[in-house]
Amino acid sequence: MKCPFCGKENTRVIDSRPAEDNSAIRRRRQCDKCGKRFTTYEKVEVIPLIVIKKDRNREPFDRDKVAAGVYGACHKRPIPAEKINKLIDDIETIVFNREEKEIESSEIGNIVMDKLNELDQVAYVRFASVYREFKDVNTFIDELKKILDKK
Ligand SMILES: [Zn+2]
């Protein structure tokens, strides 16, 4: 990091600490040449994630939408809120850690289903029934059978 006073490049970090809201790291640096001190901030680069919807329109990823779907599926199930929030966090992490910065909404749906399947079978079926838009009772029963066969 170049010294803002003398322009020399030999500066060193003498102190690092999180900024007030933990969204950045504040570093105190000192120039080896002129001895002056200055501050730098290191922040996470936020790259927006774009969701490709069924109609091919795009919109920014919205955690609240995923959360609403998950909460709806878990309604009145004996699942601690803490676990539900952890699941939503996990989904968000998976989605943001992909290489691509665009994701099909169907892929998000599959990730949510995978996670719900591990958490609670009823919540899983509820989500799947809304998400896959079961056309009739038979598709719904097929899906249930798949779940039961796994046991
Ligand atoms: Zn300097």
Q: What is the pLDDT of residue 43?
A: 83
Distance from Cα 14 to the centre of ligand 1, integer Å: 14
**Gap from CA of 39 to ligand 1 centroid (Å):** 13
The answer to whether residues 51 and 111 touch, using CB atoms and an 8 Å cutoff, is no
Tell me what pLDDT residue 24 has: 85
Task: Give the distance (Å) from ligand 1 centre to CA of residue 18.
Answer: 24
Helix/strand/coil for 56: coil
Say if CB 53 and CB 105 are below 8 A apart: yes
pTM over 0.85: no
The residues placing their C-beta within 5 Å of ligand 1, an ion, are: 3, 5-6, 31, 33-34
Tens-binned pLDDT, residue by residue, of the chain (151 aa): 899 999 999 999 999 988 777 778 999 999 999 999 999 988 877 778 999 998 999 999 999 999 999 999 999 999 999 999 999 999 999 998 888 889 999 899 999 999 999 999 889 988 988 777 666 667 767 777 777 776 5
Give 29-46 pLDDT, tens digit per residue.
999 999 999 999 888 777
Query: What is the rounded distance in angstroms from the CA atom of residue 94 to the CA atom of residue 28?
Result: 34
The pLDDT, as a whole number, for residue 133 is 66
